[in-house]
Amino acid sequence: MNTPQIALVTGASRGVGKGIAIALGAAGMTVYLSGRSATESASHLRGQLLPGSLAETAEAVNRAGGQGIPVPCDHRDDAQVRALFARIEREQGRLDLLVNNAALLHENLIDPGPFWEKPLELLDILDVGLRSAYVASYHAAPLLLKNGRGLIAFVSSYGAGCYMHGPAYGAQKAGVDKFAADMAVDFEGTGVAAVSLWLGPQRTERTAIAGAARADQYEAFLAVAETPEFNGRVIHALLQDPQLQTLSGQTLVTAELAQGYGISEAEGRQPPSYREMLGEPRMQHPARVI
């Protein structure tokens, strides 16, 4: 019997992280799940409690055919993150895949208006979302290198290249794109790849609430939105791709990757790329200053 591949999905209590983890579980992977909501949620949006917990995600991963291992972790706390990776090393001795998904999304993120009229706390996405992704990648790298092959995938969006939800959100997405580009340089020749992934609109607990509040803006998008599980299948296909190293350092659109891998939504629907509408990933200059 083949040894299951090992993944860590950060921010896996609900939403995108939860769906990605379930898809990886359905592919037979052992999936470590990190986040703050261990057994019950304390997160709210528009006065409503956002459902989801690590325990629920672990159960869903198990039902899908994998093994879900919930590890409560606040990604603002470097000591907790260090302990998370120490546990993975102790229990598995290696890591095949890190999905950097954790991000602190303020409930006023999608409100209209300029940044100075919104809470300063929107900036927290640069702590949990940008800095936290660097810290997780830092600790993941030695475990990925043990395999001689592996992947760090950053969850990003078209907001890296166009105005979307204001400057803090855009800076975080552009930042993880740059992380992937520069980490790929450091990983050259090791068999480990780093990519950043532009997801389209997602069907999650959060977007269901936000969509109801802003139906004029979101109804059309959500009608053709992606499920997080769809993106999880794309990430798994990337991990298995024998040409993965040729993609390392790039920012990729998951809807476009899905077409190449023959992946669609469960009902056969093919989510669209928004490249023409919202822009395309920035190409990095090949110059290197060491």
Residue 219, token pair as written in the block: 């109804």
**So what's the pLDDT on residue 224?**
83
**So what's the pLDDT on residue 223?**
77
Read off the pLDDT of residues 132-154 as tens digits, 9 standing for 90 and up.
999 999 999 999 999 899 999 99
**So what's the pLDDT on residue 47?**
64
Cβ pair 192, 141 in contact under 8 A: yes
Element (H, E) at 280: none
Task: Count the helix, strand and coil residues of the chain and give each as a percent rounded to the nearest 5.
Answer: 50, 15, 35
Its pTM surpasses 0.85: yes
Instruction: Compute CA distances 68 → 11, 34, 64, 160, whole Å.
Output: 14, 11, 10, 31
**So what's the pLDDT on residue 255?**
98
**So what's the pLDDT on residue 41?**
67
**So what's the pLDDT on residue 50?**
76
Q: Which of the four CATH numbers 3.40.50.720, 3.30.450.30, 3.10.110.10, 3.40.1190.20 does domain 6-278 have?
A: 3.40.50.720
Question: Could you list the active site residues?
Answer: 169
Residue stretches of the chain with pLDDT short of 70? 1, 40-42, 44-49, 210-219, 221
The residues pairing with 44 across neighbouring beta strands, listed in sequence order, are 49
Q: Where are the domains of the chain?
A: 6-278
**So what's the pLDDT on residue 40?**
65
**So what's the pLDDT on residue 182?**
98
